[in-house]
Amino acid sequence: MRTLFVGLLDAGSFAIRAKQLCEAHGDGWEYGSLQGAIKFRHDFDIYCFIKKADRNVVRLLRAGKKIIVYDILDSWKQPQDDVRCQNVNDVLNLFAQRFAECRFDGVIFPNYKMLSDFRNLEYVINPVHIYHHYWPIIQPIAVKEKPEILGYWGDPRFLGEWLPFLVQTAERHGLKFVVKPDYSQIDIGVAIRGVPYNNYLAINYKSPVKLVNFYAGGIPCILGEEASYREIANKRVVFVSDFNSFKTALVRMLRYDVRLAAHEAFIRERDKFSLSAIIKQYEQYFNMLMEKKSNGG
């Protein structure tokens, strides 16, 4: 089937959920802007909106009897909605109007937690959860006898109060804390949110992409509590909740045997989150929607 992924071309989430998928898949999968969806509204079978969906464009496509999918991701306004939403009812109220206005034929959620919470919301039809694939350039690291780099890949603002703590704690143990290093340089990875970024929406509905990338590199890691991480974590993933638990976890992670065991366990998870594996999940989902349409569903 011919599919157009629609969104903001320069957004990082669009690169992962559209550009990389289309470039690897080829064969009728393309990506474009909202203007492109309007221009080519007769040319595709499925239009998959990434993160943002314009109700007027959706209505135009629906008039042409196209299949319309919404890949919701973290599509809330940040930080305004982070402050507004303190529980699941707040979240459902936030999204109810969007689903009522657009009435998508299918919805892709970034984790099972979000799918589970939204499943019974009116107009959420044919829901599925598909995790992010790992960044294709990441290769397995070589585990060093003595670690050197404690690495974080993301915007350092999201660390909040953890940033100075991580710098100081790394130095205390002979490590260097580095933001956005090459993945091949990371000996121990960290992914955690500080105030005010450890809010309800982020903790429950953000994708597990940081852990997925650590799996790809076989990078031992220490993580904050998030629903997505818990959903895909194997027994070698280490979770912490405060400074003291992090200190304890890091001391143990300095041991070569602990990091090697984590590395080997993570490499076994790698293929589940490859680009080809995630493309297959999209293909199966899109094929199901096409079949339903052909059967009058």
Residue 119 lies inside a defined structural domain of this protein = yes
Mark whether 206 and 218 lie in a shared domain.
Answer: yes
Phi, psi at 100, each rounded to 5°: -65, -40
Same domain, 249 and 284: no
User: Do 115 and 42 sit in the same domain of this protein?
Assistant: yes
Looking at residue 234, what is its pLDDT? 97
> What is the phi/psi pair of residue 182, to 5°?
-65, 140
| pLDDT averaged per 10 residues in sequence order, the chain, 297 residues | 94 91 95 93 96 93 96 91 94 93 96 96 96 97 98 96 98 98 97 96 97 98 98 98 98 98 98 98 97 86
**Same domain for 192 and 235?**
yes
Residue 138 lies in a domain: no
Same domain for 14 and 122, yes or no, is yes
User: Which domain CATH number covers 229?
Assistant: 3.40.50.2000
Residue 107 lies in a domain: yes
- Domain membership flag for residue 144: no
Give the SS3 label for residue 2. coil
pTM of the model: 0.95
139 belongs to a structural domain = no
Q: DSSP assignment of 54-108, as one string?
A: -HHHHHHHHHTT-EEEEE-SS-S-TTHHHHH--SHHHHHHHHHHHHHHH--SEEE
Residues 17 and 89 in one domain: yes
- Going by C-alpha positions, the residue among 237, 177, 243 that lies closest to residue 213 is 237
CA distances from residue 267 to 8, 169, 175, 287 in whole angstroms, order as listed: 33, 27, 24, 30
- Domain holding 263, by residue range, is 149-273
Same domain assignment for residues 225 and 279:
no
- Residue-level pLDDT at 297: 65
Q: Are residue 201 and residue 284 in the same domain, yes or no? A: no
- What's the length of the chain? 297
Count structural domains, the chain.
2
Rounded-to-integer distance, Cα 183 and Cα 123, Å: 41
Tell whether 252 is covered by a domain: yes
For residue 209, the surrounding DSSP H or E stretch is helix 209-217
**Residues 238, 249 contacting (CB under 8 angstroms):** yes
Determine, yes or no, domain membership for 143: no
Q: Are 284 and 264 part of one and the same domain? A: no
Residue 168 and residue 269 in one domain: yes
Considering the domain boundaries, does residue 140 fall inside one? no
pLDDT of residue 296: 78
Residue 156 sits in the same domain as residue 233? yes
Same domain, 238 and 126: no
70 in Cβ contact with 109 (< 8 Å):
no
Report the C-alpha gap between 16 and 18 in whole angstroms. Answer: 6
